[in-house]
Amino acid sequence: MGRKSQFWDKHAKGYAKRAVGNEEAYQQKLKITQEYFNDTMDVLELGCGTGSTALVHSGFVKHIHGVDISPKMLEIAQSKIDNEGVENISFECSSMEAFIPDAGRYDMIMAHSLLHLLEDKEDLLRKINKGLKPEGLFISSTICMRDVMPLLRFILPIGRVFGLLPLVTFFTLTQLEKSLRDAGFTIERNWQPNKKQAAFIIARKAS
């Protein structure tokens, strides 16, 4: 995992303390997601970070398995669920490139603030599709940087060279939607608080 893991380990404590950028939108995304839950669901969260979203959702489903590249992030996540006495969340440390979900295991897979941090999001989307049960759901929140801040694609690589910024890939919402369809999904819902915010997409594994 190397450099990428080290970057997120370094920022884990600060990330855990940082307030959500748009609390109202975050709460709305939680509410929308919970409309799809039931207490028999087996859920996977990729890029789970410090476990805040999994913790909020844990009371609505059978089990949530969170995966993240950063051991430090997962240490914080584990301490949260231990403090709350939550028993239906588990964690695993892995890069998204190395992680392979069990075929047809999950009712829902979530990936928030993740797809734009991958060199090959298409590969992960294909693995997500395979990991879902028939007609399972993929729920994601993704900043489409080419729509929001296109000029940053010339600046971010400099920050990455000095270890100040992670890898960020640039694509439009239209391109993201095409990637989802190409990976075998139908898009059921696409919500943005405004055009400069992350796209919250609910997609279903095509039958």
Q: What is the DSSP string of the chain?
A: -HHHHHHHHHTHHHHHHSPPTTHHHHHHHHHHHHTT--TT-EEEEET-TTSHHHHHHGGGSSEEEEEES-HHHHHHHHHHHHHHT--SEEEEE--TTT--PPTT-EEEEEEES-GGG-S-HHHHHHHHHHHEEEEEEEEEEE--HHHH-GGGGGTHHHHHHTTSS-------HHHHHHHHHHTTEEEEEEE-SSTTS-EEEEEEE--
Mean pLDDT of 77-82: 96
Mean pLDDT of 117-145: 96
Domain 2-205 has CATH 3.40.50.150: yes
Mean pLDDT of 87-114: 97
| pLDDT of amino acid 161 | 47
- Considering the chain, what is the average pLDDT of its residues? 90
Mean pLDDT of 29-47: 97
Return the percentage of the chain with pLDDT > 90, whole number.
Answer: 74
Q: Is the pLDDT of residue 192 over 50?
A: yes
Q: Is the pLDDT of residue 153 over 70?
A: no
Domain ranges of the chain: 2-205
Mean pLDDT of 88-114: 97
| pLDDT of amino acid 97 | 94
CA dihedral 89, 199, 95, 90 (to 10 degrees): 0
| pLDDT of amino acid 28 | 96
Q: Is the pLDDT of residue 8 over 90?
A: no
The band of 194, judged by pLDDT with boundaries at 50, 70 and 90, is confident
The band of 150, judged by pLDDT with boundaries at 50, 70 and 90, is low
Mean pLDDT of 63-77: 96
What is the b/e burial string over 53-75, where b = at least 16 CB atoms within 10 angstroms of the residue's CB? bbbebbebbebbbbbbbbebbbb
Say whether pTM exceeds 0.75.
yes
